[in-house]
Structure 1
């Protein structure tokens, strides 16, 4: 699959490490001396001090130079201008709801994801970390219960696949069919398990994470219990919502579930500040790196590019403090996983991607800015008991 993805994407992405093959942008020509990022920050500053007329003039200038088909700064400016305009008009929530109601075709999502996989190692490395950690924890045992996971690597295990049970947890969707997504996910997983002859059972639970009842998980004593939480915790409320915030409550629930291992993947960002201006600066820097990465690795002409806060990313150091406080013991990064991830990155991806480790986290980034982090944990009690038994 890796070779096929790379081959199919070869004509659409730039040559690894040197930027060859880039075509000229179809949008507006970038003019000398125009620093769109500085203009965006100035506009945010004007909004922060309620200088709405000046903010409006800056928005006109930004829109004049922005383009959905230009380079990274022009594309970035277009979307941030839309956000600033929504902030000015106080319509951020309505715009978000309209975006969520606009259903993207599954084929378009798949095309975009395949392109992302071909040019960026973030998802592939995170899934490899998660899959290999699960395989290592199983250690030949015959029953596994994974809360939210995929199954391909289990099918190739020596001695045959274990009996696999997956519990998918998600909030109900809006509309007349609130359970459609979680039910269709279970159906696809069952079909996939059948392809690889993996004994499979699925249960879907629709609930806010912080309201999960552990009894509903139907945990058996003889199964290996694993919690997999990859890149979704950013949607949980933080201390600006409640002192005893949802993300802390969810970590405590995970501790009570008492899994053999918790696999935690997070988007590394620092734009969860309750104050608009510092939050805007951080999110601008974060997405500047993402847009720069895509601008460097994907042709600009490629057809598959494409006030209330919904995402509240924190840094991996902040998540480390939260998870330790909830009663987990962090496990060290498996050096074999790290070594292979670096080797694969060097072989298939652009030289400016970064893979490293720090404080028990496997880190991924672009040009020195850390974008993603993944780690594994054990409840402190089970860690202590296991140590005493050994």
Structure 2
């Protein structure tokens, strides 16, 4: 928001619209999402940025349809997915069907870009021992990162992150099988192959993006333990030598036509 509101932005932004999508079966409630919307609205107001926030709730993600969004052909659209697509990775069955339907809807929306943030790890192996070891190294590094960056053990945010979010992910990876195993993180190499099936090609990150990543990490003392690597055209951020998260941008080879040049 700060970048869009800045006078240094390449183009004047008339309005920023965000539509958050949630599932009724997920851990995040509509109220949680609306609370986030209120905080974003307050921040946008402080930045003097015109802002609009809406919520779309569905039973399962495959129920999302493009007509649920207020699409304007004069506006540029982007899709952002953080730690969600891994739930749709599978070897068939309902999860794969949901991925197919979701990607068809996203293609119909016709975004200029789709940004994906995922864990850079392999937690999709059918071999339990391999999956356990991969999870041990990945989450061991993640907990070490939390301990270094969130020093106060009783911090409410840290307690929530460790006991609710990460504990649930770990439990699902090592204790669930079949359709019950939802957390199926894969590496960037696998994402390239998987997303190519839907006509998505990897887009190169700009020098400005790389600069901003380094700048944000540099603001924190624990940032010295982080390493930013380039994997193909994407970014992988690691902690003390262990890859933690990937950030990638994707474009459809033939997206829905948009006339976004006259309005942003």
Please tell me whether the aligned partners of residues 74 and 258 of structure 2 are also in contact (alpha carbons under 8 angstroms). Answer: no
Q: Distance in 1 between matches of 2:5 and 2:258?
A: 31
Instruction: Quickly say closer, same or farther: Cα 1:184–1:339, change in 2 above 3 A.
Output: closer
Give the ranges of 4+ consecutive aligned residues of structure 1 lying more than 6 Å apart after TM superposition: 383-386
Q: Is the 8 A contact 1:165 1:200 kept in 2?
A: yes
Q: Which residue of 2 aligns with 1:315?
A: 187
Give the direction of change, closer, same or farther, for the CA distance of 1:248–1:331 in structure 2 (3 Å limit): same
Indicate the residue corresponding to 1:366 in structure 2.
239
Separation of aligned partners in 2, 1:312 and 1:219? 32
> Secondary structure of 1:244's partner?
helix
Please, which moves more after superposition, 289-298 or 186-195?
A: 289-298
The correspondence for 2:202, drawn from 323, 327, 330, is: 330
Report 1 or 2 for greater relative contact order, CA contacts < 8 Å, sequence distance ≥ 6: 2
1:328: Cα distance to partner?
Answer: 1.5
Question: Structure 1 residues 206, 370: CA separation in 2 closer, same or farther (over 3 Å shift)?
Answer: same
Q: 1-side partners of 2:114 and 2:231: how far apart?
A: 18
- The equivalent residue for 2:4 is 154
- Against the structure 1 CA distance between its residues 232 and 297, is the aligned structure 2 distance closer, same or farther, given a 3 Å change threshold? same
C-alpha separation in 1, matches of 2:258 and 2:47 = 36
Residues in 2 aligned to 1:164 and 1:257: alpha-carbon distance in whole angstroms: 17
Alignment check: 8 A CA contact 1:356 1:364 kept: yes
TM-score when scaled to structure 1?
0.53
Kept after mapping to 2: 8 A contact 1:268/1:373:
yes
From the superposition, tell whether residues 370 and 196 of structure 1 become closer, same or farther in structure 2 (CA, over 3 Å): same
> 2:108–2:256: 8 Å Cα contact kept in structure 1?
no
The corresponding residue for 1:200 is: 51
Taking the aligned partners of 1:328 and 1:230, their CA distance within structure 2 comes to: 17
Q: How many residues align?
A: 234
Task: Point out where structure 1 has 5 or more consecutive residues left out of the alignment.
Answer: 1-150
CA distance in 1, matches of 2:103, 2:24: 21
Cα shift readout 1:12-47 (whole Å, capped 9, x = no counterpart)? xxxxxxxxxxxxxxxxxxxxxxxxxxxxxxxxxxxx
Distance 1:366-1:188 versus aligned 2 partners, 3 A rule: closer
Q: 2:85 maps to what in 1? A: 233
C-alpha distance in 1 between matches for 2:229 and 2:239: 11
Residue ranges of structure 2 left out of the alignment (5+ in a row): 160-174, 260-264
Give, in whole Å, the separation in 2 of the partners of 1:256 and 1:343: 35
- Provide the secondary structure at the position in 1 that maps to 2:43: helix
2:36 to 185, 195, 198: 185
CA shift for structure 1 position 337: 2.4
Q: Distance in 2 between matches of 1:185 and 1:171?
A: 16
Aligned counterpart for 1:216 among listed residues 68, 74, 85: 68
TM-score (norm 2): 0.75
Higher relative strand content: 2
SS in 1 for 2:245: strand
Partner SS, residue 77 of structure 2:
strand
The 5 A counterparts of 1:36-115 are none
Match of 1:254 among 106, 116, 135: 106
The answer to whether 1:268 aligns with 2:136 is: no
Alignment correspondent of 2:251: 378
* C-alpha RMSD over aligned residues: 3.2
| CA–CA distance in structure 2, aligned partners of residues 197 and 381 of structure 1 | 35
